[in-house]
Amino acid sequence: MRIDKHIISQCAETRDSFYLYDESCILHSIKQLKTNFPQIEFLYSIKCNPKPHVLNCVFKQGFGADAASAGEVRSARKAGLHAEKIYYSAPGKSAKDIEDCLGKATLIADSTGEIERIQAAAEKAGTVANIGIRINPDFSFDGEGGKPSKFGIDEAQAIAFLKENTFKNIKVTGIHIHLKSQELDDRVLSAYYERVFRLAEKFAQICGKLDYINMGSGMGVPYAPGDAPLDLPAVSAAVEKNLEGFRTAYPDTKCIIEVGRFAVCKSGVYVTKVMDRKESCGKTYLILHNTLNGFIRPSLARLVAYYSSETAPAGSEPLFTAADGFEFSTLKEEEPSEKVTLAGNLCTAADVVAEDIWMPRLKCGDVVVISNAGSYAAALSPVQFSSQEKPAELFLTAEGEII
């Protein structure tokens, strides 16, 4: 835990459950990206943590926005980003989403039907819009052949469509690819980026020129104790090498990588209080405040582990990463002395975040701190369930102020 225990304890005085995000930690992650990839432009995937303080912090570092909805386009605008730094990519945009976001962001069409709908909206607005298209390539993330996907337009379909059609009010000036999140193997990630460069060359020829290629995410963070962090310098070396070749033919094309969790996952902790303790048939239960409904991922991790026959079930991002992807700690300096099951205060037996783990003895009012809560945490939580009060979200600035 990087955040000072005194700060957590101070915040817990008046709250039973809350998130705390540490700006210094976000700045540290961003600096790692910027120093390792000086030629890459980064976008922040708002959906993983859309808190305004987080957005302000990330955008101030020069990141653009990967918006997954019209609402996220608005959040990015509100945080001060200009249209040219915002990319709106999501399947199933409504006519209103398209209309509202024209001119406020670069729309990335997710299907051929959507290309036509954006054309119609641009015509109605009397403008010519530069758009991108999301491609479902002929290759998969790990180097096998292409796979069916609800995202993007199959590579061959996109090529045929662009060759067969011309549009008066839109111009395709970029491509977007994103196939997987949470990769920790630098070789797999580097090989994926290399394939994306080859794909970009194909589309650059068809489109005349590309203003940008958005290579998606993939950059993972270590969740489980056995996870080794991604070797950024190794990925960087591979990307720079590819970029060199690409740039000789296409010197003006921006190369974009979008990240969510890499920027913010480690910055957040979820803090919840022991509301009750009880024994049942020899088992000790600590009843915590707002677990499944405040931070759903630890409960989901347990559910997946419970139902899966595999020892390390594959991730299903962003809901599930690893069965042992969260650390449960306390503010006590004592050694663990009792075996407890950490459950929540909801009316469901599935509301358990950890079973039979060793902890120092905790009494009512003591806090439990859960790690890896900066991304896909507050944003994913089913807070409407059983009308509990939402956990607060606090932001610790680099200057040490809590807001």
> Which stretches of the chain bind ligand PLP, using CB under 6 A?
45, 47-48, 66, 89, 178, 181-182, 216-217, 219, 258-262, 375
Q: How far is the CB of 141 from ligand PLP (least distance, A)?
A: 12
369: alpha, beta or left? (left if phi > 0; alpha if psi -120 to 50): beta
Is the peptide bond preceding residue 225 cis, with omega within 30 degrees of 0? no
Q: How far is the CB of 68 from ligand PLP (least distance, A)?
A: 6
Measured from the CB atom, is 89 or 291 closer to ligand PLP? Answer: 89
φ/ψ (deg, to 5) at 220: -95, 165
Measured from the CB atom, is 260 or 391 closer to ligand PLP? Answer: 260
Measured from the CB atom, is 197 or 262 closer to ligand PLP? Answer: 262
Task: Give dist(CA 153, CA 278) in Å, integer.
Answer: 54
Task: Give dist(CA 232, CA 367) in Å, integer.
Answer: 35
Q: How far is the CB of 368 from ligand PLP (least distance, A)?
A: 25
User: Which amino acid belongs to residue 362?
Assistant: L
Measured from the CB atom, is 12 or 230 closer to ligand PLP? Answer: 230
Q: How far is the CB of 306 from ligand PLP (least distance, A)?
A: 25
Q: CA 307 → CA 297, 304, 313, distances in Å?
A: 15, 5, 10
Task: Give dist(CA 162, CA 119) in Å, integer.
Answer: 13
Name the strand (E) or helix (H) holding 259. strand 254-259
Burial of 317 (0-12, 13-18, 19+ CB in 10 A): middle
Task: Give dist(CA 254, CA 297) in Å, integer.
Answer: 35
Task: Give dist(CA 124, CA 388) in Å, integer.
Answer: 45
Q: How far is the CB of 219 from ligand PLP (least distance, A)?
A: 6
Q: How far is the CB of 123 from ligand PLP (least distance, A)?
A: 27
Q: How far is the CB of 66 from ligand PLP (least distance, A)?
A: 5
Measured from the CB atom, is 258 or 393 closer to ligand PLP? Answer: 258
Q: Taking each helix axis from N to C terminus, what angle separates 23-36 and 232-249, rounded to the nearest 10 degrees?
A: 50
Task: Give dist(CA 223, CA 229) in Å, integer.
Answer: 9
User: Which amino acid belongs to residue 71?
Assistant: G
Measured from the CB atom, is 33 or 342 closer to ligand PLP? Answer: 33
Does residue 247 contact residue 21 with C-beta atoms inside 8 Å?
A: no
Please name the residue that has the structure tokens 């794909």.
Answer: 199
Q: How far is the CB of 61 from ligand PLP (least distance, A)?
A: 16
Task: Give dist(CA 385, CA 399) in Å, integer.
Answer: 36
Q: How far is the CB of 43 from ligand PLP (least distance, A)?
A: 8
Measured from the CB atom, is 104 or 261 closer to ligand PLP? Answer: 261
Q: CA 105 → CA 76, 98, 99, 221, distances in Å?
A: 9, 10, 11, 29
Measured from the CB atom, is 217 or 272 closer to ligand PLP? Answer: 217
Measured from the CB atom, is 72 or 100 closer to ligand PLP? Answer: 72
Measured from the CB atom, is 16 or 186 closer to ligand PLP? Answer: 186
Q: How far is the CB of 170 from ligand PLP (least distance, A)?
A: 21
Residue in the shown chain whose Cβ atom is closest to ligand PLP: 260
